[in-house]
Amino acid sequence: MPTYLYKCPACRSRRDVIKSLTVLNRKESCEACQAPMERQISAPAVVSDYAGYNCPISDKWIEGRRAHEENLKRHGCRIYETGETAEIRRKAASEDAAFDRSVDETVEQFYEALPSEGREALATAVTSGLDVEIARI
């Protein structure tokens, strides 16, 4: 919706008013002195376009709002709603914690199933510097 600048001829105060074209001719009153305000000619507000980026799916260069919207549509994507990013991160953290618990349980089960010689060999390997890394694939 357009923003219009109004100026009070009596007290010289100024105010931006947001209103649709359907009520453009509605009179505005000064909040300070209640005198009728006059609409001023002012520069339009310009919204910058989207910065260019490489699409993470196709690696195609995307520049501008229209290209961005078409690219989202082409790949069946959408812009996240307010708060959705935080929810996705919380869910990912919860899934990671569940995965870590599952790995811990599996390691414990494996260790308990080892014969005593296997446990001793594993303990020796760990104390002599065996480095184990768990990779989530």
Strand order of the β-sheet with 3-7 is 14-18, 3-7, 38-40
β-bridge mates for residue 130, sequence order: none
Whole-number pLDDT of residue 74: 95
Q: How far is CA 82 from CA 17, 69, 73, 86, 99, in A?
A: 26, 18, 19, 9, 28
pTM exceeding 0.85: no
pLDDT at 45: 67
User: Could you state, in chain order, the average pLDDT of each consecutive group of 10 residues for the chain (137 residues)?
Assistant: 89 91 90 94 75 93 92 92 91 94 92 92 88 76
Sketch the domain layout of the chain as residue ranges: 3-40, 47-83
- Contact partners, residue 41, CB within 8 Å, separation at least 6: none
C-alpha 88 chain-centroid distance? 10
3-state secondary structure of 98: helix
The pLDDT value recorded for residue 133 is 79
